[in-house]
């Protein structure tokens, strides 16, 4: 998928668990399933950054219009 396709999917309630943008931000910033990316368990490489940073980046994206371009 391209970056615009991913952003469009994130915004599409039919493909994002019927969430609005505020719910998406909360999900990305707080959900334990998402947080697993940074604490994947022994023998696995964690994702770069932190869940807190992801939450801030998603909020900045929303604050700037949540463009799908």
* Helices vs. strands in the chain: H and E counts, helices first: 4, 0
Domain extent, residue 44, equals: 3-63
* pLDDT higher than threshold 90 for residue 5: yes
pLDDT, residue 68, reads 79
Give the model confidence (pLDDT) of 22-59 as tens digits.
999 999 999 999 999 999 999 999 999 999 999 999 99
What's the whole-number mean pLDDT along residues 3-28? 96
| Sign of the torsion formed by the C-alpha atoms of 65, 58, 26 and 17 | positive
For the chain, the domain total comes to 1
Distance CA 22, CA 3 (A): 20
Distance CA 18, CA 23 (A): 9
Examine residue 8 and state whether it is found in any structural domain, yes or no.
Answer: yes
From the number of C-beta atoms within 10 Å of its C-beta (0-12, 13-18, 19+), residue 13 rates as: exposed
Whole-prediction pTM: 0.85
Examine residue 68 and state whether it is found in any structural domain, yes or no.
Answer: no
């Amino acid at each position: 998928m391209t970056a615009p396709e991913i952003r469009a999917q994130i915004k599409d309630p039919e493909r994002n668990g019927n969430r609005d943008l505020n719910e998406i931000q909360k999900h990305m910033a707080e959900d334990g399933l998402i947080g697993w990316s940074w604490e994947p368990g022994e023998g696995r490489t964690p994702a770069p950054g932190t869940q807190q940073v992801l939450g801030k980046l998603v909020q900045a994206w929303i604050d700037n219009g949540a463009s799908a371009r």
